[in-house]
Structure 1
Amino acid sequence: MLETIGKRTLTVQALTPESFAPFGWMLGRAYPAEKSASAFTNPATDFWHQHAFQTGAQDGAEILWVNYRNTDGFVTSLEKHLLTEQVITPLTGSIIQVMAGSHADGSVDLSTAAAFCIPPGQGICMRPHAWHATRSLAPEVTCLMLTRGSTTLDLISHLHGAAAAQESAIVDIPRHELAMDGVAA
């Protein structure tokens, strides 16, 4: 993660629970080493708690299938969702997730910008108000997304030009280049 005067480069880093903590939660953590009430294992299956997802409303969560095709090595805009957490889990290839926090007034804080490589088998859950952009490391990467249904409808309406977004915000930022040294697709 770096932002220096006159230079806007984000070094893509490996996803870890600690490195992603300012923006949300890493998913795909290993089976817990210590016994847990929310974990089960036997020769046929393992399952264990990763995160309690919060939509911020009673209307519940929505599962989306998302195809990412933007392979640009730079970022010029970020979006955030105001009411809900959002999960992204790559299924068919790796993605780069660019993240940034917010200032007290809600504007993007580029001094916190970071970029993460997320391979299949891992995922992220972003907090509300976490600024983000996604890039694909292949011509197309399919991801599972968990979000709030009204946020999806609101964003689609905005992207079609029918109405201003109420549950999300999209802003232009100065061009940031992604340094992907050692990042494998």
Structure 2
Amino acid sequence: MTRAAAVPVHDLTADAFSAYGWMLGKPMPLGNGVPLFSNDATDFWQEHVFNTGAGGDAQVLWVNYRSASADVASLEKHLLTQQAIVPLTGAIIQVVARSAADGTPDLATLAAFRVEPGQGVCMRPGCWHATRVTDAQVTCLMLTRRSTTLDLIQHLTTDAAASESAIAAIPACRLDVPHSQD
């Protein structure tokens, strides 16, 4: 029996995730031209300018992830839009890969990141991905393109081909999830 390739799960950092998109939830910047405001009652700053692609309406989704399987055998990507995921009720593991020249997942770039509540990721268009939880169901806020959601739902519930997303089988791999030292 062939053993699935192990994919280590890394802590999320802006530098480590930059090949796939942007880390969200970094500390408030110290100026550097970033629009921000701070007073005794509140702080806010521009974290990222989200791009849905030409002619797309942004959509906020509430997503409940339940798969705690360490096995990953498929990935999906969205062709037109960035997609942001922010876990609200627990940590998620975001599995990502860049696209090869032919559009398939580039398995040499396959990586996995632990994303804690208070952090998030925004993936570039064409970033292959899968999401896992480490324990129980995790509710996430997702920012995406409205037409991409409708296209994906139609594809997943009928025989219609997806035009804004793709799903690809990959050789089985297994997430190497470090256990906490409770």
Q: CA deviation at 1:57?
A: 2.4
TM-score by length of 1: 0.93
Match of 1:100 in 2: 97
- 1:11 and 2:13 correspond: no
- Match for residue 40 of structure 2 among 18, 40, 43: 43
Aligned amino acid, residue 51 of structure 2: Q
Aligned amino acid, residue 38 of structure 2: T
- Match for residue 57 of structure 1 among 38, 54, 57: 54
Match of 1:137 in 2: 134
The structure carrying a bigger strand percent of its residues is: 1
1:62-141 aligned at under 5 Å gives the runs 62-141=59-138
Once residues 95 and 34 of structure 2 are traced to their aligned partners in structure 1, the CA distance between those partners, rounded to angstroms, is 34
Q: CA deviation at 1:182?
A: 3.8
Q: 1:104 to 1:37 in 2, by over 3 A?
A: closer
1:88-136 per-position Cα deviation (integer Å, ceiling 9, x unaligned): 0000000000000111111110000000000000000000000000001
Aligned amino acid, residue 6 of structure 2: T
Percent identity between the two aligned chains:
55
Structure 1: tracts of 5 or more residues without a match? 1-5
The secondary structure found in structure 1 opposite 2:109 is strand
The secondary structure found in structure 2 opposite 1:117 is strand
- 1:161 and 2:158 correspond: yes
Aligned amino acid, residue 33 of structure 1: L
Q: CA RMSD in A?
A: 1.6
Number of equivalent positions: 180
Structure 2: tracts of 5 or more residues without a match? none
1:25-64 per-position Cα deviation (integer Å, ceiling 9, x unaligned): 0000100123645011001000011111000022320000
The secondary structure found in structure 2 opposite 1:173 is strand
Once residues 58 and 184 of structure 1 are traced to their aligned partners in structure 2, the CA distance between those partners, rounded to angstroms, is 48
Q: 1:119 to 1:37 in 2, by over 3 A?
A: closer
Once residues 40 and 48 of structure 1 are traced to their aligned partners in structure 2, the CA distance between those partners, rounded to angstroms, is 6
The secondary structure found in structure 1 opposite 2:132 is strand
